[in-house]
Amino acid sequence: MTLVMGIVNVTPDSFSDGGRHLDPEAAIAHGRDLRAAGADILDIGGESTRPGAQRVDPAVERERVLPVVAALAGDGIPVSIDTMNAATAVAAVEAGALFVNDVSGGLADPEMLAAVAALRCDVILQHWRGHSADMYAAAEYRDLPRELVVELEARVAAAAAAGIPPARIVLDPGIGFGKRGAQNWEALRALDRVCAMGPRVLVGTSRKRFLAEALAGGEASDSVDERRRDLATAVTSVLAAQAGVWAVRVHDVGATRDALTVWRRWEDGR
């Protein structure tokens, strides 16, 4: 069964919902709404990773996320901390988080993998080729599916060297990270190869530009509103589930939950 991870951005500048839930109480309320809509896990982040975003001081990041993590984990909701900083990961797990979601795959902070090994929590390692400020600078591939798998294998090996067993690892192909337009479709078509690597796989397409570009039909992608992006997200989430992913990461939990429910009924009837 593919799980649904709901996104809680405690940031002023995330690409889709930046500023909506910057206040801790608003973020906590939003997390509870996502849980009620069917989220299995809540992913809480205090630093935007949208293209062009600048880094946030880790102390500011912790000030944003820790009250939210503590409150939602205190409700008994499985919580993931979306961070590239080892110190934030440690503090969040101590506050109740069960997962560390590092979009850099442990590359941004050299202390991250050792910290996760000591925490004995699960870790999500994403395919990554550089920080948001210049994430497209390395978006050059000779054979994207092969390079994607090779680079994820390197992150699994690095995690193993730090003492993290494969059973505690989740891999993320990094849709939208270091990948332009059509490259994201190539990465999605390679999901069977990523899933065959062994660890669980998380996919996050939610509201991303490549979906809007596909829907815009040659027009500016900003002409595609949130509702249409959420519908496209739900479709790609079902296709990812068909490929065998463990979880999908989305803003609109209800739409994706409904789409997955319909798909499961379809599959049950075969």
Q: C-alpha dihedral over 130, 51, 121, 264, to 10 degrees?
A: -120
Q: Catalytic: which of 35, 155, 207, 249?
A: 249
- Which of 165, 52, 58, 66 is closest to 117 using CA atoms? 165
Beta-bridge partners for 123: 100, 169
3-class DSSP assignment, residue 159:
helix
Q: Catalytic: which of 64, 208, 209, 257?
A: 208
3-state secondary structure 211-268: HHHHHHCCCCHHHCCHHHHHHHHHHHHHHHHHHCCCEEEECCHHHHHHHHHHHHHHHH
Token pair 């060297």 is at which residue? 161
The answer to whether the CB of 210 falls within 8 A of the CB of 221 is no
Beta-bridge partners for 101: 82, 124
Exposure of 27 by Cβ count < 10 A (0-12 exposed, 13-18 middle, 19+ buried)? buried
Residue 179 among the catalytic residues: no
> 3-state DSSP: the chain helix, strand, coil percent, rounded to 5?
50, 15, 40
Q: Please, what is the Cα angle at 214 between 210 and 218, to 5 degrees?
A: 110
What's the alpha-carbon Rg for the chain, to the nearest Å? 17
Q: Catalytic residues, which ones?
A: 208, 249
